[in-house]
């Protein structure tokens, strides 16, 4: 992965190529404590209950552009190819039209699904690289 990043950075510096590194974090839990946090007092640390109420989960899709240090991300309800394509469309809108996009990502199934490959096929400016 490091080797691909260094090659991409070197290429990006000399051309109009954006090289975002894409990853996701699924099943982020939205939690809330069942009781308020007890404040810090002299001789006692701040305390909280051990139980919580679970509200829901969310998935974060994010891309880190190694050329300019910008992070582009979206939260999605689920973690499927459909949501990943929604994120890719959002990512494309964030970049200038004349700039190519080379995405570096892991080999997770969502990235390689037939639906994502169909999205990629007509895109002349987008390329996928996996580690």
The span from the CA of 121 to the CA of 25, in Å, is 26
Structure-token pair, residue 103: 């995405």
Q: Is the residue at 45 inside a domain?
A: no
- DSSP per residue over 89-116, as a string? HHHHHHS-TT-EEEEEE---HHHHSHHH
Q: How many domains does the chain have?
A: 1
Examine residue 126 and state whether it is found in any structural domain, yes or no: yes
In this model, does residue 49 exceed pLDDT 50?
yes
Identify the domain containing residue 8 by its residue range: 2-33+50-130
| 38 in any annotated domain | no
The answer to the question of residue 43 being in a domain is no
pLDDT band at 2 (very low <50, low <70, confident <90, very high): very low
CATH of the domain at 98: 3.30.420.10
pLDDT tens string 51-60: 888 888 889 9
Residue 41 lies in a domain: no
Write down the pLDDT at residue 1: 46
Backbone angles phi, psi at 104, to 5 degrees: -105, 125
Share of the chain above pLDDT 90, in %: 10
How far, in Å, CA of 127 to CA of 88, rounded?
12
Count of beta carbons in the 10 Å neighbourhood of residue 89:
11
pLDDT in tens, 7-42: 555 554 555 667 778 888 888 888 888 888 888 888
Which pLDDT does position 25 carry in this prediction? 87
- pLDDT attached to residue 121: 83
């Amino acid at each position: 992965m490091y080797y691909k990043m260094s090659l991409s950075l070197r290429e990006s510096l000399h051309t109009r190529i954006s090289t975002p590194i894409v990853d996701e974090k699924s099943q982020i839990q939205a939690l809330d404590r069942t009781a308020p946090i007890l404040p810090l007092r002299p001789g006692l640390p701040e305390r909280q209950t051990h139980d919580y109420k679970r509200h829901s989960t969310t998935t974060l899709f994010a891309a880190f552009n190694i050329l300019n240090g910008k992070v582009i991300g979206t939260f999605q309800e689920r973690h499927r190819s459909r949501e990943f394509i929604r994120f890719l469309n959002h990512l494309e809108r964030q970049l200038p039209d004349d700039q190519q996009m080379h995405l570096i990502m892991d080999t997770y199934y969502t990235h390689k699904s037939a639906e994502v490959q169909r999205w990629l096929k007509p895109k002349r400016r987008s390329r996928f690289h996996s580690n």
